Amino acid sequence: MSKLVIVGTVAFDAIETPFGKTDKILGGAATFIGLAASQFEVDGAIVSVVGGDFPKEYIAMLENKGLDVSSLEVVKDGKTFFWSGKYSHDMNTRDTLVTDLNVLADFNPIVPENYKDAEVVMLGNLHPLVQLSVIEQMNKKPALVILDTMNFWMDSALDDLMKVIAKVDVITINDEEARQLTGEYSLVVAAKKIMTMGPKYVVIKKGEHGALMFYQDEMFYAPALPLEEVFDPTGAGDTFAGGFAGYLAKTGDYSFGNLKKAIIYGSALASFCVEKFGTERMVNLDKDELFKRILQFKSLTQFDLD
Ligand code: AMP
């Protein structure tokens, strides 16, 4: 099994969907990534920062999932990153209402000494300079560096983001962001353009319409599982990325064939994430449920040709 470094926000989220509203619950990219990756019992460390207002029980919960939290810095007199979003009726689009960087504004990430040789690095959503610093601290070139980002950083720190994109093997972004980054409408053309920026693999997330992975001239499509109940899509993208990274760290196989399997695991995990508000479903997920859902994914698109 390989080691996995996870960087990203650990946050408070306030979410509004057509099905309800929450006040300051546990969220953050690294939280969702860590919870998803922990399904594979990987040796993973979270590199992030929270304020003194962050409940100790949340940190204990992450630790109980087997994640190393020694580099989850607590700034006693600071406030935790806060994000608030509101989803449209079809839940495919959302408006960000608040992004308060708080302690994230001056965060200097420190990769734990025993993770500086990790094979897999998952750069979850946060400031590109923090992501860059994590890459630079690795004392051995990782087998796979995966980047997730969002339009917020394209709007506010594009130059820094381009420096990170140049250094990663895989990028995961949603369709709208791929179009924003490249100015191309066709996702095939957009993916090809992104490959010239650095990544060998481009994964484009399309929400309830699944995900596409591009590699050289090849393309792979993973559907999203049609669900009866979707309460809150928050964290689905991070959960997808965490499942993807966790599966690859667990198997240590970084071939295109195995990346396809990783996409299915990521999609299956994301399908759980949306069933409850925030992290609730992911905190309580067990391996049997995941296995059954992987089989559902298999039968969803399997057919025989005469
Ligand atoms: P997702 O739904 O997968 O895009 O991720 C939602 C999570 O990302 C929430 O839990 C937020 O706390 C976190 N988040 C929102 N905006 C940002 C941002 N600008 N940088 C880092 N994390 C963010």
Average pLDDT of span 197-201? 98
296 pLDDT above the threshold of 90: yes
- Nearest residue by C-alpha to atom 11 in ligand 1: 28
Instruction: Report pTM.
Output: 0.96
Q: What is the pLDDT of residue 208?
A: 87
Is 148 a member of any domain?
yes
Query: Does the C-beta of 266 come closer than 6 Å to ligand 1?
Result: no
Best CA proximity match to 125, nearest among 164, 76, 87: 164
Is 306 a member of any domain?
no
Which residues partner with 105 through β-bridges?
Answer: none
DSSP 8-state class, residue 68: B
Output the six-digit token pair for 96. 């960000």
Q: How many CA atoms lie within 13 A of 56 on its CB side?
A: 1
Strands (E), 33-169: 43-51, 72-75, 82-87, 94-100, 120-123, 144-148
Q: How many CA atoms lie within 13 A of 241 on its CB side?
A: 38
pLDDT of 35-65, one tens digit each? 999 999 999 999 999 999 999 999 999 999 9
Query: Does the C-beta of 236 come closer than 6 Å to ligand 1?
Result: yes
Is 149 a member of any domain?
yes
Give the CATH number of the domain where residue 61 resides: 3.40.1190.20
- Nearest residue by C-alpha to atom 1 in ligand 1: 235
Secondary structure of residue 27 in the 3-state scheme: strand
CB of 2 within 8 A of CB of 45? Answer: no
How many other CB atoms sit within 10 Å of the CB of residue 129? 17
Secondary structure of residue 105 in the 3-state scheme: helix
Q: How far apart, in whole angstroms, are the C-alpha atoms of residue 170 and residue 213? A: 10
Distance (angstroms) between ligand 1 centre and the Cα of 235 equals 7
Q: What is the pLDDT of residue 229?
A: 85
Secondary structure of residue 60 in the 3-state scheme: helix
- Find the helix or strand (DSSP H, E) in which 11 lies: strand 11-17
Q: What is the pLDDT of residue 242?
A: 98
Query: Does the C-beta of 125 come closer than 6 Å to ligand 1?
Result: yes
Q: What is the pLDDT of residue 272?
A: 97
Query: Does the C-beta of 80 come closer than 6 Å to ligand 1?
Result: no
- Nearest residue by C-alpha to atom 18 in ligand 1: 126
Which ligand 1 atom is the nearest neighbour of the CA of 153? Answer: 19
Is 89 a member of any domain?
yes
Which ligand 1 atom is the nearest neighbour of the CA of 85? Answer: 15
- Nearest residue by C-alpha to atom 19 in ligand 1: 152
Query: Does the C-beta of 220 come closer than 6 Å to ligand 1?
Result: no
| 137: containing domain | 3-301
Picking from 6-10, 88-92, 222-226, which range would have the lowest pLDDT averaged per residue?
A: 88-92
Query: Does the C-beta of 9 come closer than 6 Å to ligand 1?
Result: yes
User: How many domains does the chain divide into?
Assistant: 1
Checking DSSP bridges between strand 25-27 and strand 43-51, what pairing results, if any?
Answer: unpaired
pLDDT of 14-24, one tens digit each? 999 998 999 99
Is 296 a member of any domain?
yes
Ligand 1: residue of 80, 95, 150, 280 to mutate (most ligand atoms within 8 A of CB) is: 150
What is the maximal distance between C-alpha atoms in the chain?
Answer: 67
pLDDT of 236-260, one tens digit each? 999 999 999 999 999 999 999 999 9
Is 123 a member of any domain?
yes
3-class secondary structure per residue, 189-240:
HHHHHHHHHCCCEEEEECHHHCEEEEECCEEEEECCCCCCCCCCCCCHHHHH
